[in-house]
């Protein structure tokens, strides 16, 4: 099977999206020369080229692309060749307006932007297959092409009548009969019982709240429909080329698609990452997202897009300093990316993205930004040996798209207990300590993890619950966050003492969810006072728990639940349940104590991690990212070599202000 390793035999991949159709031919030659100077190894070509490749139905104009690919090949630059299906040409929308998507109010959208396709439109699909097949046939043997890139950020949701019909077919396959659908969804409420399949529509705007089982299934259906689209194009490519990997670029924790259900179909997991330089939370969020991608890939993945500086789609677009650009790029490598690709090579003077940064800015190559791009190219070339190395993780964090979707439906006890913020809050202490973390499904094989964390797992189906129980039976350790395992796979609330699938093992049963008034409530010692994890504050959320055999680590002090348990664990100490949102310090102490008790140590050689230093270990390589404006002195347990300079360090290494170092243990 083709894999990412096919592209990285000579090291990490470096480059970006290249849109030569926006430029004169003379510029193409300059581009290739500048790419060579910047040590670019691969560019993604053709993402938005449909209207040029096929200016009219069935009139294929491949000549200009031949030239581009030849030039790149002569220059030694490999190509990730894209299918252009993310932006159909105007003629397609004009010819068949039903290729255009419809919004949740039932209004058909117009062309003039991009992603204006209905994923189930037979015409769109047929034309997407046709252009893909022309492209594959024409260039499958071109020596520049090393990978295929299907569509771009597949993710359009459509609510049209054609999608409605496909949704009904999807439901029929899933439930068989209307009776089973009624029983699973629970359509007895609000007189929603359907007497014929034809009555079921996508969850279009309605006067009041929609049925959460209906919306959940629609999200699942949309994800499947988009996957079908991917497969349709992939199959066209595979019909002519079985040797090169096929990818499509993901969008991190993107709510529109369940990427985990896609991962098995994709040869190279690739992702687009745009951390906001103005957001202090961006580094931790980016690291978590990179860990998700590495986990989906089961090994190295590829950073398909990032920005060298500012984006143009936020309201206020803060640029990246040279140091910041380097950190964002090397963080991705540290978390398993086998390359760094940017959107895009040369900044566009026209179109909606005219103010988006690029590897070559409007001001040209003799610029601060382009010199930074060249320097990154040299650094990545020196890090060739990082390619293919693995990240060791003894801790897993559970994340599931269905659960995320169901948890964020309206009309729950609170809209302040959000899935991604909870995930990041639990991930942060591990990230700060430089401990490797995988992001897994409730049904993943968990046996290799010493500790499994489920910060917010609202929906947990029976298979997931059985798998987590099996992990506990086999000696694992599981920590469950608040409002977890509440709903089953159909988004139906499980009845009984919660967390229902675990209450017996835990030795405690929840009775009531208790969102807290604004402000905080104390958290103090439970069975042991003072609490081994110290005291702290709870906010936003509490639950009323009744203990049977569990041990209590923390209880509420003050408020409506004064004296009631807030953090409990089973007698064997392997199942923990946190029924609130504690302050960050308490959460950190508790999680690091669990890590410690499970015998999980850092794999990096640092004797201590100073605050403001981000550290990540990948194979034998230690990445150190200084977030502060001062140089940091970092104590080392063993003698290390700076991979980029060759200098040796012990008993400490100094990381310059805002600097990034890559170390490797010195051979003894
Ligand atoms: C996305 C797209 C690119 C470009 C960038 C801009 O990731 O895939 O085509 O629009 O955003 O940040
Ligand atoms: Zn549609």
Distance CA 548, CA 169 (A): 47
The answer, yes or no, to whether any atom of ligand 1 lies below 6 A from the CB of 153, is yes
Ligand in closest contact with the CA of 343: 1
Q: In this structure, what token pair is assigned to residue 474?
A: 């086999």
Ligand in closest contact with the CA of 164: 2
pLDDT at 667: 87
Using the atom order of ligand 1, give the atom closest to the CA of residue 47.
9
The answer, yes or no, to whether any atom of ligand 1 lies below 6 A from the CB of 274, is yes
Q: Which of 353, 357, 358, 359 should be mutated for ligand 1, with most atoms under 8 A from CB?
A: 353
Taking the centre of ligand 1 as the mean of its atom positions, its distance from the CA of residue 523, in whole angstroms, is 45
All residues at 6 or more sequence positions from 59 whose CB lies less than 8 Å from its CB, including other chains: none
pLDDT at 197: 98
- Let me know if 153 is a catalytic residue: yes
Strands, E assignment, 456-542: 478-480, 508-513, 520-525, 536-539
- Per-residue pLDDT tens digits for 311-333: 999 999 999 999 999 999 999 99
CB 309 within 8 A of CB 362: no
pLDDT at 259: 98
Protein residue closest via CA to atom 12 of ligand 1: 311
What mean pLDDT comes out for the span 652-666?
97
- Per-residue pLDDT tens digits for 34-45: 999 999 999 999
**What's the pTM value of the predicted model, to 2 decimals?**
0.98
CB 359 within 8 A of CB 376: no
Give the residue among 615, 625, 609 at the shortest CA–CA distance from 658.
625
What mean pLDDT comes out for the span 511-531?
95
CB 45 within 8 A of CB 55: no
Give the residue among 42, 660, 441 at the shortest CA–CA distance from 32.
42
Protein residue closest via CA to atom 4 of ligand 1: 343
Kindly tell me if the per-residue pLDDT of 668 is higher than 80: no
Q: Could you tell me what percent of the chain has a pLDDT over 70?
A: 100
CA distances from 112 to 91, 94, 313, 315, 352 (A): 11, 11, 17, 21, 11
The answer, yes or no, to whether any atom of ligand 1 lies below 6 A from the CB of 356, is yes
Burial readout 587-619 (b: 16 or more C-beta within 10 A, e: otherwise) = bbbbbbebbeebebebbbbbeebeeebbbbbbb
CB 630 within 8 A of CB 590: no
As a CATH number, domain 613-665 is 2.60.40.1180
Distance CA 632, CA 615 (A): 12
Distance CA 85, CA 88 (A): 6
Q: Where in the chain is the domain with CATH 3.20.20.80?
A: 4-155+221-386
Architecture of the CATH domain 4-155+221-386: Alpha-Beta Barrel (3.20)
CB 545 within 8 A of CB 530: no
Give the residue among 384, 377, 369 at the shortest CA–CA distance from 16.
377
Residue 486 gets which letter from DSSP? -
What mean pLDDT comes out for the span 192-199?
98
Instruction: Give the DSSP H/E element, type plus range, for residue 128.
Output: helix 122-139
Kindly tell me if the per-residue pLDDT of 190 is higher than 80: yes
Secondary structure class of 397 (helix, strand, coil): strand
Please, what is the end-to-end C-alpha distance for the chain in angstroms? 38
Protein residue closest via CA to atom 9 of ligand 1: 343
- For residue 29, the number of C-alpha atoms closer than 13 Å in the C-beta half-sphere is 2
What mean pLDDT comes out for the span 235-241?
98
pLDDT at 642: 98
Q: Which of 48, 249, 343 should be mutated for ligand 1, with most atoms under 8 A from CB?
A: 343
- Per-residue pLDDT tens digits for 387-437: 999 999 999 999 999 999 999 999 999 999 999 999 999 999 999 999 999
Give the residue among 342, 245, 261, 274 at the shortest CA–CA distance from 5.
245
Taking the centre of ligand 1 as the mean of its atom positions, its distance from the CA of residue 340, in whole angstroms, is 15
Distance CA 37, CA 593 (A): 49
Q: Which of 149, 272, 348 should be mutated for ligand 1, with most atoms under 8 A from CB?
A: 272
* CATH class as words, domain 395-597: alpha beta
Q: Is the peptide bond before 70 cis (omega within 30 degrees of 0)?
A: no
Kindly tell me if the per-residue pLDDT of 529 is higher than 90: no
Using the atom order of ligand 1, give the atom closest to the CA of residue 153.
8
Taking the centre of ligand 1 as the mean of its atom positions, its distance from the CA of residue 334, in whole angstroms, is 23
Protein residue closest via CA to atom 5 of ligand 1: 343
Other beta carbons within 10 angstroms of residue 133's beta carbon come to: 17
pLDDT at 200: 98
Q: Where in the chain is the domain with CATH 3.40.50.880?
A: 395-597
> Dihedral angle at the C-alpha atoms of 148, 151, 155, 158, nearest 10 degrees?
-140
Among candidate residues 54, 153, 236, 564, the one labeled active-site is 153
The answer, yes or no, to whether any atom of ligand 1 lies below 6 A from the CB of 149, is no
Q: Where in the chain is the domain with CATH 2.60.40.1180?
A: 613-665
Residue 107 gets which letter from DSSP? P
Other beta carbons within 10 angstroms of residue 659's beta carbon come to: 15
Helices marked H in 408-452 — which ranges? Answer: 419-433
- Per-residue pLDDT tens digits for 74-125: 999 999 999 999 999 999 999 999 999 999 999 999 999 999 999 999 999 9
- Let me know if 409 is a catalytic residue: no
pLDDT at 531: 86
- Per-residue pLDDT tens digits for 591-612: 999 999 999 999 999 999 999 9
Helices marked H in 241-360 — which ranges? Answer: 259-262, 282-297, 322-334
Mean pLDDT estimate for the chain: 98
Secondary structure class of 20 (helix, strand, coil): helix
pLDDT at 180: 98
């Amino acid at each position: 099977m083709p894999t990412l390793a096919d592209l990285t035999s000579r090291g990490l991949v470096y480059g970006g999206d290249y849109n030569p159709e926006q430029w004169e031919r003379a510029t193409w030659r300059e581009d290739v020369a500048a790419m060579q100077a910047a040590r670019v190894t691969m560019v993604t070509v053709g993402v938005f080229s449909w209207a040029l490749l096929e200016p009219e139905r069935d009139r294929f104009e491949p000549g200009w692309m031949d030239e581009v690919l030849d030039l790149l090949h002569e220059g030694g630059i490999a190509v990730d060749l894209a299918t252009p299906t993310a932006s159909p040409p105007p003629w397609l929308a004009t010819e068949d307006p039903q290729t255009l998507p419809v919004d949740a109010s039932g209004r058909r959208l117009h062309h003039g932007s991009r992603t204006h396709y209905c994923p189930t439109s037979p015409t769109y699909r047929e034309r997407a297959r046709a252009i893909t097949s022309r492209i594959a046939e024409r260039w499958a043997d071109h020596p520049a092409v090393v990978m295929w890139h299907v569509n771009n950020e597949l993710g359009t949701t459509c609510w049209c009548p054609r999608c409605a019909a496909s949704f009904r077919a999807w439901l029929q396959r899933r439930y068989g009969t209307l009776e089973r659908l009624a029983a699973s969804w629970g359509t007895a409420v609000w007189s929603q019982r359907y007497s014929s399949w034809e009555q079921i529509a996508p969850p279009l705007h309605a006067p009041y709240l929609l049925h959460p089982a209906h919306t959940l299934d629609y999200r699942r259906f949309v994800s499947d429909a988009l996957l079908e689209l991917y497969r349709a194009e992939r199959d066209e490519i595979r019909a002519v080329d079985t040797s090169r990997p096929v990818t499509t670029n993901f969008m991190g924790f993107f709510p529109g698609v369940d990427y985990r259900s896609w991962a098995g179909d994709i040869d190279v997991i690739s992702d687009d990452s745009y951390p906001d330089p103005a957001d202090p939370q961006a580094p931790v969020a980016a690291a978590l997202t990179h860990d998700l991608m590495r986990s989906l890939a089961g090994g190295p993945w590829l950073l398909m897009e990032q920005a060298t500086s500012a984006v143009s789609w936020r309201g206020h677009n803060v640029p990246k300093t040279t140091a910041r650009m380097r950190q964002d790029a090397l963080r991705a490598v540290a978390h398993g990316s086998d390359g760094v690709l940017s959107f895009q090579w040369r900044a566009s003077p026209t179109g909606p993205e005219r103010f988006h940064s690029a590897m070559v800015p409007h001001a040209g190559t003799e610029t601060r930004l382009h010199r930074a791009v060249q320097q990154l190219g040299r650094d990545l070339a020196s890090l060739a040996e990082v390619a293919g190395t693995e990240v060791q993780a003894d801790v897993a964090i559970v994340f599931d798209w269905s659960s995320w979707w169901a948890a964020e439906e309206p009309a729950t006890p609170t809209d302040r207990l959000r899935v991604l913020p909870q995930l990041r809050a639990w991930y942060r202490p591990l990230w700060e300590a430089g401990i490797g973390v995988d992001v897994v499904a409730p049904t993943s094989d968990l046996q290799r993890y010493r500790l499994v964390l489920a910060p917010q797992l609202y929906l947990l189906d029976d298979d997931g619950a059985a798998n987590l129980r099996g992990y506990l039976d086999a000696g694992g350790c599981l920590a469950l966050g608040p409002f977890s395992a509440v709903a089953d796979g159909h988004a139906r609330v499980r009845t009984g003492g919660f967390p229902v699938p675990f209450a017996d093992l835990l030795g405690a049963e929840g009775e009531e969810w208790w969102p807290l008034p604004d402000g905080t409530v104390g958290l103090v010692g439970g069975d042991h006072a003072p609490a081994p994890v110290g005291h702290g504050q709870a906010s936003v959320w509490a639950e009323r728990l009744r203990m049977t055999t569990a041990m209590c680590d923390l209880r509420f002090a003050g408020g409506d639940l004064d004296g009631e348990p807030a953090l409990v664990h089973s007698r064997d100490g392997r199942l923990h349940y946190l029924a609130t949102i504690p302050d960050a310090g308490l959460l950190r102490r508790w999680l690091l104590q669990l890590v410690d008790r499970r015998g999980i140590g850092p794999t990096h050689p640092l004797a201590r991690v100073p605050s403001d230093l981000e550290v990540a270990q990948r194979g034998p390589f230690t990445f150190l990212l200084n977030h502060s404006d001062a140089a940091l002195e970092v104590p080392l347990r063993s003698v290390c070599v700076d991979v980029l300079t060759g200098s040796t360090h012990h008993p400490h290494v100094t990381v310059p202000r805002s600097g990034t170092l890559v170390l490797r243990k010195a051979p003894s």
